[in-house]
Amino acid sequence: MSSEISGLGGEIIAFTYPSLIKSSDNQVIPRVAGGNRTAEAVITNTCASFEPNALVNLSDGSGNVTSLAIGQQGAGAKINGPVQIDAHAVNGNALIVCGSSQTGGGGVCMEGNLTVSYASGNNNICGTTQVQTLNVCCALTVEQCSTLKGGLNVSGGTSEFANCATFNGGIHVASGNLLVTGTIDATNDITAFSTSDKRLKNNIIKIDDSNSVINSLNGYKYEWNEKANKTGHDVGVIAQEVQELIPSAVRENEEGYLSVDYVKLIPYLIEEVKSLNNRIKTLEDK
């Protein structure tokens, strides 16, 4: 009798098959329904950059489909349901997923603490998070400080940033609204357009009190105090003064402090400049 150890018998399984879990997309297991298997048993991973790209749902001891579907190396994996990571890793990184190291590149790189949950269409991130590029299919809520080294793509819903968030890349909101209850600081240009189509407006009345409004407003130079989230010297107006004249240009935040929409001062400035031009022309014609 031969003493050779081969196949799945004896100690050789520990070296040839370090951890044996059945996956799909090989020469034996097809991706289509057949026999006693339904079509839902095997999933095609459209995010995989090359073949094989099929995932098979794992099952428990009773034949029930689990939350995990895996495939051969390169095919990736899919988790159906919430994911909780509770671990202490080197350098405090509980989870590091770097897709850029795979063939074809791409993917998401996450370092530090990351909690993404699905509840009523919202994805919540709590804790200090560093993400290379984050794609959100619904809405995103950031409750604490987060840093995105790349960009943020949100396909819909209303995203809210209740605390600080740093974006070294870009923010792309395909649809829906972006609400920031904290402060947005941009080191480069901010390009924005305000909806102003005449077809969306009723009761249009030309401003005729620009002189009294502009003369009642004052420009100031000042320093931010310890209650503000800003420091140093600055220039601007006083929100309380603006509120008395143009209430729609002032908003109160959750802490009770007032902020000014400086864009809404522009129509008054336009009418006042026109009025001054007319007075200058009248004087020149005399």
List pLDDT tens digits, range 183-220. Answer: 777 777 888 888 899 999 999 999 999 999 999 999 99
Q: Are residues 152 and 233 in the same domain?
A: no
Residue linked to tokens 């396909």: 155
> Distance between CA atoms of 58 and 39, rounded to whole angstroms?
14
- Say if residue 30 is exposed, middle or buried (CB neighbours under 10 Å; 0-12, 13-18, 19+): middle
Query: pTM of the entire structure?
Result: 0.51
Q: Has residue 276 been placed in a domain? A: yes
pLDDT of amino acid 99? 47
Q: Has residue 97 been placed in a domain? A: yes
pLDDT of amino acid 118? 45
In this prediction, residue 120 has a pLDDT band, given cuts at 50, 70 and 90, of very low
Secondary structure element (H or E) that encloses residue 262, with its range: none
**Domain range for 17:** 10-79
Strand pairing report for 152-154 and 134-136? parallel
Return mean pLDDT, the chain: 73
Q: Has residue 185 been placed in a domain? A: no
Q: Is 14 a residue whose pLDDT tops 60?
A: no
In the numeric block, which tokens belong to residue 113?
């603490």
Q: Are residues 174 and 94 in the same domain?
A: yes
- How far is residue 101 from each of residues 61, 107, 152, 214, 244, measured CA to CA in Å? 35, 9, 21, 59, 58
Q: Are residues 95 and 174 in the same domain?
A: yes
Give the pLDDT confidence of 222-243 residue by residue, as tens digits: 999 999 888 899 999 999 999 9
pLDDT of amino acid 108? 44
In this prediction, residue 181 has a pLDDT band, given cuts at 50, 70 and 90, of confident
Q: Has residue 2 been placed in a domain? A: no
Q: Are residues 99 and 175 in the same domain?
A: yes
| Contact predicate 112/127, CB 8 Å | yes
Q: Are residues 148 and 206 in the same domain?
A: no
Secondary structure element (H or E) that encloses residue 139, with its range: strand 139-142
Q: Is 167 a residue whose pLDDT tops 50?
A: yes
Q: Has residue 227 been placed in a domain? A: yes
For the ranges 21-35, 44-58, 265-279, the lowest mean pLDDT is seen at 21-35
Average pLDDT of the segment spanning 18-44: 57
Q: Are residues 176 and 203 in the same domain?
A: no
Q: Are residues 172 and 97 in the same domain?
A: yes
The residue ranking higher by pLDDT, 151 or 65, is 65
Q: Is 92 a residue whose pLDDT tops 60?
A: no
Q: Is 33 a residue whose pLDDT tops 60?
A: no
In this prediction, residue 221 has a pLDDT band, given cuts at 50, 70 and 90, of very high
Give the pLDDT confidence of 125-148 residue by residue, as tens digits: 655 556 656 666 667 777 767 776
Beta strands in 143-270 (DSSP E): 146-148, 152-154, 158-161, 165-167, 171-173, 177-180, 220-223, 233-236, 250-252, 258-260
Q: Are residues 154 and 225 in the same domain?
A: no
DSSP 37: B
Average pLDDT of the segment spanning 174-189: 76
In this prediction, residue 56 has a pLDDT band, given cuts at 50, 70 and 90, of confident
Residue 17 DSSP SS3:
coil
- How far is residue 161 from each of residues 146, 176, 190, measured CA to CA in Å? 10, 14, 18
Domain's final residue, options 154, 180, 206? 180
Q: Has residue 191 been placed in a domain? A: no
Q: Is 2 a residue whose pLDDT tops 80?
A: no
| 32-51 burial code (b ≥16 CB/10 A, e <16) | eeeeeeeeebbbebeebeee
- Angle at the Cα of 93 from the Cα atoms of 92 and 96, rounded to 5 degrees: 175
- Say if residue 82 is exposed, middle or buried (CB neighbours under 10 Å; 0-12, 13-18, 19+): exposed
Number of domains in the chain: 3
> Distance between CA atoms of 212 and 245, rounded to whole angstroms?
9
Q: Has residue 206 been placed in a domain? A: yes
